[in-house]
Amino acid sequence: MSKQFITHMSRRKWNWLFAGVGTVAAAMLFSGCKGVPTKTEKQSRADLKAVTQVYRPGERKATLHPLDTNATLGTFLTYAMLNQPRVEAAYYDYAAAVERITVERSLPDPRLSFESDIADIVMTVMPGLMQEFPGPGKLKAAANVATAESRTKYFAFENSVLQAAFSLKRAYYQLWFLDENIRINRQTLDLLAELEEIARSQNSAGKVTLQDVYRAQIEQDQLTTEIENLEDSRRPLIAQLKGALGLRRDQADPPQPTRFESTPLDLNGDALLDTAFARNPRLKMMEADVRMAEATIALARKSKVPDFSLGLMADAKAAPTMFRPSAGMTLPIWRDKIAAQIAQAQATKRAAEARLTSEQIMVTVDFAMKSYDYREITRNLALLQDKLIPKARQSLAVARAGYLAGQVDFFDLLDAERTLLNFQLQEVEARTRREIVLADLSLTIAGIAPEGAPVLPTAPNASVPQSNNSTGR
């Protein structure tokens, strides 16, 4: 037999072997490339899809309603929740965690190998294919860990949504308070100008000295400076509103709020606290941490189970060519390592449980403190609106009449004016503080998402109080 013929046969043999092993490899790849998704993986992907349809429809930013002078608080809220970069980062962390479930439940990639004899490379190249199989239950256990982690990431995302809404409300109400503060001070400035004219008239009549006129002017100068300071404080507040909306430095400033909109919330203490324990995303995140730790313990216990491998190698040296199956398994003999992995996972679970208990206590304390703040502010607001401000107006009117009659000193007249101004500013501040407290209770403690929030619907067993508009006064 000629050397040329042998070479020809060798090449044919090599091509045939390569094709055979390639066919087996392709069959393995295309038959199992998608794997079998678990039930929890399917649910996790369904949840992600539901969030994505609101937050990133068509894998693009949701269409945002333009902000103008007629924009409602709800429009501002939706804009902030859908445009805030911190929310976006949390969303993609959540999406990445869902994708990791598929990674963890999938088999390792098969390995295509080649062996050869240096003495005769052409005739002795032996291609092979090897597939590793984790021990029974390991892939499912790893997928369970990834699923629990994805739930943790989801609640971190939900918490970022609620935090964005709270930051927006706080900036919104602070700007409104500033405008009301300036308005009241300007009205008082006009009042002081009237008092100055009254003092001038009384001075011309010889009833009082110029000292009263100077006192009125001093009050006006002080108030004018206060108004200038308030106007100057607008810039940082607008910057806060801009930041809450997720607007960059090179983007135009948002319009300022022109209306006061109260936060509707039913403050039935027990029901609202139950809602907080059922919906607070920080609590839900820590509960998911506990579930993840439990899944990690189950995965660590699977370390006792060996992993397996199966392979097939083509022996080109044999005539005819022979296919040699191979098999292998790991030997989990290092029991101290396995015990340490289990102990580590158990310690992590205890730490997660302790953090959950601590957060439950903090939620209870925060709820009690914010509820008290709400009740105190509401009582003070009622006192100001129903009694103090009306009586201060009456006192100012009496003082003005008494001053014209020469029965009241100008100091008393100014004191009556200052009292009214102080009560009016306290009333506006109390309304603002109450709305911020209500937003804190609703969003960061009770976990009640505003309309348009890109979050999953509340679980059926969650206790949600019905909202009303009892807070608006």
Residue 43 tokens, joined: 């649910």
pLDDT digits (tens, 9 = 90+) for 125-181: 667 777 777 878 878 888 889 999 999 999 999 999 999 999 999 999 999 999 999
Q: What's the rounded mean pLDDT across residues 205-212?
A: 86
Residue with tokens 């609106």: 385
Q: Which pTM was predicted? A: 0.82
pLDDT at 122 over 60: no
Distance, CA of 298 to CA of 440 (rounded, Å): 38
Alpha-carbon span 25 to 314, nearest angstrom: 13
CATH number for 391: 1.20.1600.10
**pLDDT for residue 62:** 86
Which range of residues forms the domain containing residue 381? Answer: 36-112+136-195+232-312+358-445
Q: At what angle are helices 138-204 and 234-244 packed, to 10 degrees?
A: 160
Contact in structure between 315 and 321 (CB atoms under 8 Å): yes
Report the percent of the chain where pLDDT is more than 90: 53
Q: Is 227 exposed, middle or buried (0-12, 13-18, 19+ CB in 10 A)?
A: middle
Q: Is residue 20 part of a domain?
A: no
98: in domain: yes
pLDDT digits (tens, 9 = 90+) for 79-109: 999 999 999 999 999 999 999 988 888 777 7
* The one-letter amino acid at 18: F
In a domain, 224, yes or no: no
Top pLDDT among 21 and 87 is at 87
Any domain includes 324: no
Task: Say whether pLDDT at 187 is over 90.
Answer: yes
In a domain, 51, yes or no: yes
pLDDT-derived band at 5 (thresholds 50, 70, 90) equals very low
Q: Residue 1: pLDDT band by 50, 70, 90 thresholds?
A: very low
Residues 179, 187: Cα–Cα separation, whole Å: 12
Residue 419 belongs to some domain of the structure: yes
| More confident of the two residues 24 and 85 | 85
Residue pair 106/114 in contact by the 8 Å Cβ criterion:
no
Question: In this structure, is residue 456 part of a structural domain?
Answer: no
pLDDT at 178: 94
Q: What is the amino acid identity at position 347?
A: A
pLDDT of residue 116: 64
Q: Distance between CA 473 and CA 470 in Å, rounded?
A: 8
pLDDT, tens only, 294-333 = 998 888 888 788 777 777 777 666 566 667 777 777 677 7
pLDDT recorded at residue 158: 96
| 53-76 average pLDDT score | 88
**What total number of domains does the chain contain?**
1
Is residue 410 domain-resident?
yes
Q: Given pLDDT bands bounded at 50, 70 and 90, which one contains residue 3?
A: very low
Q: Is it the case that residue 471 has pLDDT exceeding 50? A: no
The chain-wide mean pLDDT, for the chain, equals 83
- Mean pLDDT computed over 66-74: 87
Q: What is the pLDDT of residues 358-388, one digit of tens each?
A: 999 999 999 999 999 999 999 999 999 999 9
Partners of 323 in the β-ladder: 314
- Would you say residue 286 has pLDDT above 80? yes
Q: Which residue has the tokens 């009237």?
A: 194
In the predicted model, what is the mean pLDDT of residues 283-288?
94
